[in-house]
Structure 1
Amino acid sequence: MNKNWFRRLLLSYLPAFFAITMILFFLFFQSLNEQNRKEAVKANDFLSQQVIRFTDNALKAIDYKVMREILTNSNVLQFFTRDKNDVYANIQAVKVMDDLKFNFPMIDSIYFIRLKDQYVLGDAPREIAESPELDFIEPYKEGIKTAKWTGERDYKAYTSGTAKKVISLVRSAPYFSEHKQGFFVVNVSLASLQGSINQMYNSETSFVRLNDDKGHHVLGPDSSNTGKNTIFSTYTSPYTGWQVESGMINQKTLTFTLFLYNIWTVLALISVLLGVIWFVHVTKRNYRPVEQIVSLIQTNSQKNQSGGKPEESEFGFIQHTLEHLMEETDQFRKQHQESLIIHKKYLFQEVMEGNAAIKETEWKAELLKYDLDVEGKTAFIQMFEMDSYLDFTKFYSTHDQTLLKFTLYIVIHETTVNHGASVWAEWTEDNRISSIIWEPDDVEPGTIRDSIIQTVRQWVEQYLSFTVTIGGSEPACSLEEIRQCYEKVGTLLQYKAVLGTNRIIHAEHIVRSTQSEISQYFYAIYSISQSLRLSGDDWIHHLTLLFSQIRDSLSSRKEIESLIQFLQQHLERAFSELSKEYRQIWKTTNAELLALGLVWETVEELESSCTRIFETMCVQMNAIKDADSSRSVITEIRSYIIENYTNPDLSLDYLSEKFQMNAKNVSKMFKEEFGENFVDFLIGMRMDYAKKLLAGTHKSMQEISLEVGYFNYNSFNRAFKNIVGLSPRDYRKQGAALA
Structure 2
Amino acid sequence: MGINVRAYKLFYKYLFSYIGILLVPLIILGSFTYVYFIGIIKDDVINNNMNKLDRIRYVIDDQLKQIRMMSDQIYFKNMTPFFFEDDPLGSLKVINDLKNYTLTNNFISDILMFNHKDDYLYSSTSSYKTSLFFDKIYHYEQWNQNTFIHDMNSIITPTVRPMENILLNNRETKRFATLIYPLSSGGAKPTQTVLFLIAEKSFQNLLKDTMKDYGGNTLIMDKNNHIIAALQDDPLLQSPELQNIMKESNNDLSQTVTLDHVKYIFSSVVSSDTGWKYITIVPVNRIMEKVTSLKLIFLYTLAFILLISCAVIYYLMVVNYKPILRLKKLTDSIWKDDNPNRNELTTVQNALEYLTSQNTELYTRLEDYEVAAKEYLLFQLIRGKFPSREALEQKAQTLGLRLTKPWLRVVTVKFGSMPNTAAVSVDAMLDLIEQSLPDDIEGYARDHMDQSNIVLIIASDEMTDTRLAEVLSSIQSSLKEKWELMATVGIGGAYQDISQVPKSYIESMTAIDYRFVKGTGQLIFSHELGTNRPKSSFSSKLATDKLKMHLKQGDFEQIDQILQHVIHFLKHERPSMFEAKMMCFEIINAVVLTIEEMSKQQSGAPMSSPDVFLLFEYETVDELVETVKKLSLDISSHFQKIQTHHKASLIEQMIDYLKANYTDCDFTLQQMAEYFHMSQASLSQYFKEHTGSSVLDFETSLKLEKAKQLLISSHLPIKDLALEVGYYNANSFIRRFKQVIGIPPGEFRKSFQSE
What TM-score does the superposition give when structure 2 sets the normalisation length?
0.31
What TM-score does the superposition give when structure 1 sets the normalisation length?
0.32
